[in-house]
Amino acid sequence: MPDIKITEVALRDGSHAINHQYTVEQVTQIARALNEARVPYIEVTHGDGLGGSTLQYGLSKTDELKLIEAAVNVADFSKISVLLLPGIGTIKDLKEAHKIGAKMVRIATHVTEADVSKQHIVTAKELGMETVGFLMMSHMAPVEKLVEQAKLMESYGADSVYVVDSAGALLPNQVSERIKALCSELNGNVGFHAHNNLSLAMGNTLAAIEQGATRIDGSIRCLGAGAGNTQTEVLVAVLEKMGIDTGIDLYKMMDIAEYIVAPILPKPQEITKDGLTLGYAGVYSSFLLHAERAAKRFNVDSRDILIELGKREIVGGQEDMIIDVAAEMAKKNKAVV
């Protein structure tokens, strides 16, 4: 059976869902419990990675370095991971995260822009960190281009490269095709990160594993951007039924989801009309709350905003376009009236 290593992303991707309002106490409690459940990796940063706490992406309630340090202090089994998007996070941010105990970093770029990750991957390897290439919005490139970009990340030193379905837009056959291609072309580990906007996170994750992916992301209680990610406690149960032992304590994961994470959710993680539209239009999952706020501000339909963003192929880092599109729609609507 394959050796599946799960990275828990609720303390990073889940930050989007709670508007980046994590406290040191919450992170400490969750990370301690995940460590006791023997989760291999726990990712902790702002939803948009190191340095993401800005007006454009959303201000954090707590300095992310304090959150990372809090997780490190209670994790003697789990390795604490951080996310870094070149252009948002810097080499300085990476070194500071490493200094306080982060053991893994995932360097995330748009699926066609792997070349901007070189200095960050090289630096991470020099620091002795486990290093992952994270190819976001993977539905926006043909398989051949995805393979090309993954090879670049591997050539820079990445230990693993992920197919990242940031919009939750991929179908199972598309996931299978991408993972199979990477597994046949790369020497290192291949990973997969799903979003549940089309209710396909679990199905897509299993398709990825069937094609050879061994590094898998999950989020407890499905806590993540858009409609959330592959639900970790469910994934552990499903894999056990398949005869795949992740080393994670299923009962403890169930209890963490039920008694620790669920109470902090502002609302249940479900597929709303806007979450569904993200997957349908192929739009970055973290745009959800931004689009909902813009819709209220300009009195337009949030779904129309998201569909237009998809048509324009707007990607992460272009959050300012959400306001522009909403304002344009409001202007047009006013002109028609």
Show binding-site residues.
12-13, 166, 193, 195, 284
Out of 16, 110, 120, 139, which one is annotated catalytic? 16
Q: Which residues are annotated as a binding site for substrate?
A: 12-13, 166, 193, 284
Instruction: Provide DSSP, 215-243.
Output: EEEEBGGG-SSTT---BHHHHHHHHHHTT
Angle between helices 118-126 and 91-99 (to 10 degrees): 20
Q: Residues marked as binding for Mn(2+)?
A: 13, 193, 195
Angstrom distance (rounded) from CA 306 to CA 193: 21
Residue at token pair 């996310």? 83
Establish whether 16 is a catalytic residue.
yes
- C-beta of residue 16 within 8 angstroms of C-beta of residue 47: yes
CB of 288 closer than 8 Å to CB of 16: yes
Alpha helices in the chain (DSSP H): 14-17, 24-36, 64-74, 91-99, 118-126, 143-156, 172-185, 201-210, 232-241, 250-255, 273-281, 287-298, 302-311, 320-336
One DSSP character per residue, 62-114 reads S-HHHHHHHHHHH-SSSEEEEEE-BTTB-HHHHHHHHHTT--EEEEEEETT-G
Query: Amino acid identity of 49?
Result: G
Strand partners, 5: 215
> What is the set of active-site residues?
16
